[in-house]
Amino acid sequence: MNCGCAEVVTSGLLDLFEARERMVGAGRSVEGSERVALGDAEGRVLAEPVAAALDLPGVDNSAMDGYALRVAELGPEGLPVVQRVPAGAGVLHLPAGGCARIFTGAPVPLGADAVVPQERVRLDAAGRVHVDGELPRGANIRRRGEESRAGTSLLPAGTRLEAAAIALLASHGIAEVTVRRRVKIALFSTGDELIEPGATRAPGQVFDSNRAMLKALMARTGVEVLDLGVLLDDPLDLLQALSRARDEADLVVCSGGVSVGEEDHVRPAIERLGGIAFHGVGIKPGKPFALGFLGESLAAGTPLVALPGNPVASLVGWQFLALPLLQARQGMTPPALESFPVTAGFSRRGPRGRRELLRVVLDWSTGTPVARLAGGQGSHMLSAASQAHGYLLVDADTDVEEGHAHGYCPAAQFGR
């Protein structure tokens, strides 16, 4: 049965993209850095730019297994093989009138101006090389410094170090890097009804899934988590936890208790220790999202992200709004939301007064992507969120019609 409460239109809600801009603007980068070994740098953020230590490649080398030769010396009589050049060999000089057997990555002998792949070569009875088809000068040669020159910029400050970036640094012999210190996030859930997974559940109690989900999401961002657990709906407990979070963390993230009901005590506690920058975003799920601060102001204090209690709304709030603030705190430039059009494989009445973020899977069976609902779309239904490939972004007051295009936002961009 649908109670109709999800269709209530609330005035004064921030647009999703305006809210996202405000979140990024609130994310001043943390101070402090440290030197770490490259092997410990995965997921860390560069605190300063890194310059190339070498020319890469260091010498002209072969892009494949084949034969290095002078194009002008190719003729019907073929060329004798006079050298063998494996990877790691020194730079040789190619004698006139001959060619070199060469392997991928091996230095191209001086005098050679092309490498022919071994698949295009015929060897006659005397072992001379004959080339089928045309061979342009420079073919299959990686030139010295074509990727980078020593002293030029390799990676800018603010780069999050992932596998390819770490490999690039290693290819220059760089063993240590200067990275920003880890952002410390104080995390807690609120609600008298919440209990830890594994505890004995009494009627009316609910296992705390939000904190488990948020800790998993945070683990992928390279932060340090101060887990304050589940807090009861008690004003004094909330004040004590928020005071500790203000003093020990760079960012506070909580879920639940930010609405306006009689048992929602988080907002009064935040306002006593700081303030609310905004409350309410025009998205479904995720409307009760709030950005606050602990201290004198948002600019000078500790930012606080108050996520809704419903787990899917909390997930959406983290991915679309809290994550870019964290990235800015880490010294990164948060990327713009990635989206592209896909065809809807269903029809559905659109949301009233706010955007809806439907959890969908992409069906490629027809050769082009068709978005299909991943399951039930209630903000409490984690099953669909756990299976979804991404979100179909439905504009406010717009119905979804089967066969029509809508924007699709892949979940992978959030580090899922």
Distance CA 399, CA 68 (A): 63
pLDDT band per the 50, 70, 90 thresholds, residue 101: very high
Distance CA 165, CA 149 (A): 17
From 6-15, 129-138, 194-203, 403-412, the region with the lowest mean pLDDT: 6-15
| E strands present in 55-158 | 61-62, 66-69, 81-85, 99-102, 114-117, 121-123, 129-131, 141-142, 153-155
Cβ neighbours around 367 below 10 Å, total: 6
Distant-in-sequence, close-in-space partners of 318: CB < 8 Å, separation ≥ 6: 214, 217, 253, 305, 307, 414
- The dotted CATH code for 340-414 is 2.40.340.10
Distant-in-sequence, close-in-space partners of 283: CB < 8 Å, separation ≥ 6: 16, 289, 316, 320, 354, 355, 356, 357
Selection from 310, 305, 349 nearest residue 328 by Cα: 305
Distance CA 107, CA 93 (A): 10
Is the per-residue pLDDT at 386 higher than 50? yes
Angle between helices 235-248 and 266-273 in degrees, nearest 10 = 50
Instruction: Indicate left, alpha or beta for 32 from its phi (over 0: left) and psi (-120 to 50: alpha).
Output: left
Distance CA 373, CA 385 (A): 10
Predicted local distance difference test score (pLDDT) of residue 201? 94
Selection from 138, 8, 7, 17 nearest residue 69 by Cα: 138
Selection from 301, 302, 300, 275 nearest residue 290 by Cα: 275
Question: Residue 300, class by beta-carbon neighbours within 10 Å (0-12 exposed, 13-18 middle, 19+ buried)?
Answer: exposed
pTM of the complete model: 0.87
pLDDT band per the 50, 70, 90 thresholds, residue 319: very high
pLDDT band per the 50, 70, 90 thresholds, residue 132: confident
Distance CA 323, CA 336 (A): 12
What is the average pLDDT across 142-171?
97
pLDDT band per the 50, 70, 90 thresholds, residue 1: very low
Distance CA 273, CA 296 (A): 8
Is the per-residue pLDDT at 16 higher than 70? yes
- Domain 12-32+182-329, what architecture? 3-Layer(aba) Sandwich (3.40)
Fold of 34-55+149-180: Molybdopterin biosynthesis moea protein, domain 2 (3.90.105)
What is the average pLDDT across 161-173?
97
Query: What is 61-142's CATH superfamily?
Result: Molybdopterin biosynthesis moea protein, domain 3. (2.170.190.11)
Predicted local distance difference test score (pLDDT) of residue 10? 58
| E strands present in 16-65 | 33-37, 50-51, 61-62
Per residue in 262-292, pLDDT tens?
Answer: 456 788 999 999 999 999 999 999 999 999 9
Distance CA 237, CA 52 (A): 52
Residue boundaries of the structural domains of the chain: 12-32+182-329, 34-55+149-180, 61-142, 340-414
